[in-house]
Amino acid sequence: MSPKLKTGIVGLGILGRQYVETLLPHPDVQLVALCDVRPQVLGEFAATTGAATYTDLDEMLRGQSLDLVVVATPDHLHRAPVMAAIQAGVPNIIEEKPLATTLTDARTIFDAVEQQKTRLFINYANRAMPLDLATYYVVQQQLIGRPVYAESRLDDNISVPRNLWGSRSKEFAGGSSTAHFLLSHVVDLLLWTFAPARVTDVYAFSQEVVLGYTPDLYDAFLTFDSGLKVRVKAEWIKHMDQIVEFYTSITGVDGTVIYNKLPGFGVQKSWRANFSGSQATSQSLQQHQEALGGRGVIVRSAQHYHTRTDEFDQSTVNFSLEHLGPDNSNGMMLIPRMLASIAEETLTPSNWQGWGTLPTHLDGLRQVEVVQAIIHSAQKGEPVSLVI
Ligand SMILES: NC(=O)c1ccc[n+]([C@@H]2O[C@H](COP(=O)([O-])OP(=O)(O)OC[C@H]3O[C@@H](n4cnc5c(N)ncnc54)[C@H](O)[C@@H]3O)[C@@H](O)[C@H]2O)c1
């Protein structure tokens, strides 16, 4: 049996707690060190984990020989702990998204990872959620044909920038933005779903009316190298029931995916891909349903009739794959895949087959480049081209 990964976590806030709960019981992990600049958050974890606690990361890195460091500090405070871990020779790092909040920080981390040959994963958690995997499958199998337009909206309740991090909310939200905190997820999902794909042009606007210490929203139009056009939007000023709303639709030449991932008022959680292409038959969709089910993604093939004129006939049949109701998503679903990646020394470990490679520093840099172009375009009020 291979030895367990001696692991330290930096940042014991909302996400840090989830990492403790995920890593503590994992058979390949020995959680030995925890670090947070706020000593008051460490006490509880020290008692439940038995790990050594530190308020100073350098002390933790000097005192422990770690195989893996998890960085879950606020968005604008990723660079220092990630660079410290790289420079201390830690071979494996799992970093919360985004890689960084500036291009300079992102490139500095990227270059250091390349130089030191560190393995750095970014937890773009949505990539492992079952219905995002279903979207990836449908697009990559070309079941909706060539994608031509998509729309993705990810909004937080206004209570997030105002209260989620208690008295630190203003500092967290001010150091980040809806572009870094929310569109980082959306942009990565798009780059992964449509891979190989690059964004060539961005036109965006922003607004600062309500919050004052961080932009209220970003609304952006992205053009991909394939010609695909995508609108992405993230607000931090919505007065709504839920903490988060997340909606995506993708239209291809031969079909459309509609995904109410985190639904808003009056909407049910649901995922549906409608197909009109000649290869979409009930038999072929049954095979795709089975292929996805074999990989733990539960959708069902269905036929729907819709009225275009006054009558129903064959031309109005929609062949579909769909999922209604809850699924078993959570933000830690990529982590066991990353641990397997370390053990098996590959970005496509045995528990991550058929979904591309696990997200690394390169994916992190690509995502930051697009988010920075969105911010830059909104500031200038002009379109921005990305050099690719
Ligand atoms: N909150 C969410 O819903 C959510 C979801 C997905 C991803 N994330 C990402 O996870 C990361 C952490 O977010 P969070 O909500 O857990 O934040 P948080 O503020 O709750 O936790 C961050 C912790 O890091 C500590 N910290 C700050 N600087 C430090 C340093 N130099 N050394 C050690 N500890 C330090 C803070 O004291 C705090 O306890 C962010 O990048 C965020 O985008 C958050």
pLDDT in tens, 168-177: 999 999 999 9
Q: For position 255, which CATH number holds? A: 3.30.360.10
CA of residue 332 to ligand 1 center, whole Å: 15
Residue type, 314: Q
pLDDT higher than threshold 70 for residue 373: yes
In a domain, 365, yes or no: no
In a domain, 363, yes or no: no
Assess whether 288 and 315 both reside in one domain.
yes
Assess whether 225 and 164 both reside in one domain.
yes
Assess whether 121 and 138 both reside in one domain.
no
Domain total of the chain = 2
* Cβ neighbours, 10 Å, residue 226: 14
pLDDT higher than threshold 90 for residue 232: yes
The confidence band for 1, taking pLDDT boundaries of 50, 70 and 90, is very low
Pairwise pLDDT comparison (187 vs 279), residue with the higher score = 187
Assess whether 79 and 205 both reside in one domain.
no
> Cβ(14) to ligand 1 under 6 A?
yes
Kindly state the percentage of the chain with pLDDT values over 90: 91
Assess whether 256 and 272 both reside in one domain.
yes
Assess whether 306 and 221 both reside in one domain.
yes
pLDDT higher than threshold 80 for residue 295: yes
Beta-ladder partners of 218 = 206, 234
> Cβ(81) to ligand 1 under 6 A?
yes
Mean of the pLDDT values across residues 200-213? 98
pLDDT higher than threshold 70 for residue 307: no
Range of the domain at 81: 5-125+332-355
pLDDT higher than threshold 60 for residue 314: no
pLDDT higher than threshold 80 for residue 85: yes
Beta-ladder partners of 229 = 149, 223
> Cβ(74) to ligand 1 under 6 A?
yes
* Cβ neighbours, 10 Å, residue 327: 17
The C-alpha angle 150, 155, 157, rounded to 5 degrees, equals 165
For 327-351, what is each residue's pLDDT tens digit? 889 999 999 999 999 999 999 999 9
Say how many CA atoms lie within 13 Å of 258 toward its Cβ.
11
Assess whether 59 and 183 both reside in one domain.
no
Q: For position 59, which CATH number holds? A: 3.40.50.720
In a domain, 155, yes or no: yes
Of the candidates 325, 327, 342, the residue with the CA atom closest to the CA atom of residue 133: 327
Assess whether 131 and 208 both reside in one domain.
yes
For 55-75, what is each residue's pLDDT tens digit? 999 999 999 999 999 999 999
Mean of the pLDDT values across residues 77-84? 98
Assess whether 290 and 336 both reside in one domain.
no
The minimum-distance atom of ligand 1 relative to the CA of 55 is: 33
In a domain, 221, yes or no: yes
3-state secondary structure 350-371: CCCCCCCCCCEHHHHHHHHHHH
CA–CA separation, 295 and 39 (whole Å) = 42
> Cβ(41) to ligand 1 under 6 A?
yes
Pairwise pLDDT comparison (282 vs 231), residue with the higher score = 231
- Protein residue with its CA nearest to atom 21 in ligand 1: 13
- Cα 168 → chain centroid: 23
List the strands of the sheet with 229-235, edge to edge.
300-305, 317-324, 270-275, 255-262, 244-252, 147-156, 229-235, 217-224, 199-207, 384-385
Give Cβ neighbours of residue 262 (< 8 Å, ≥ 6 apart): 242, 244, 245, 246, 269
Given 3-state DSSP classes, what are the helix, strand and coil percentages for the chain, each rounded to the nearest 5? 40, 25, 35
The confidence band for 303, taking pLDDT boundaries of 50, 70 and 90, is confident
Assess whether 190 and 316 both reside in one domain.
yes
In a domain, 364, yes or no: no
CA of residue 206 to ligand 1 center, whole Å: 25
For 255-274, what is each residue's pLDDT tens digit? 999 999 999 999 999 999 99
> Cβ(35) to ligand 1 under 6 A?
yes
CA of residue 74 to ligand 1 center, whole Å: 4
Both tokens of 51, joined, read 């790990």
The minimum-distance atom of ligand 1 relative to the CA of 73 is: 24
Helices (H), the chain: 14-23, 42-49, 57-63, 79-87, 103-116, 130-140, 159-163, 169-175, 178, 184-193, 282-294, 335-344, 361-380
Q: Report the chain's mean pLDDT, rounded to a whole number.
A: 95
Assess whether 226 and 299 both reside in one domain.
yes
In a domain, 366, yes or no: no
Helix (H, G, I), strand (E, B) or coil at 301: strand
For 102-159, what is each residue's pLDDT tens digit? 999 999 999 999 999 999 999 999 999 999 999 999 999 999 999 999 999 999 999 9
* 142 conformational bin, left if phi > 0, alpha if psi -120 to 50, beta if neither: left
In a domain, 361, yes or no: no
pLDDT higher than threshold 60 for residue 2: yes
Assess whether 29 and 148 both reside in one domain.
no
CA of residue 322 to ligand 1 center, whole Å: 35
In a domain, 13, yes or no: yes
Pairwise pLDDT comparison (248 vs 276), residue with the higher score = 248
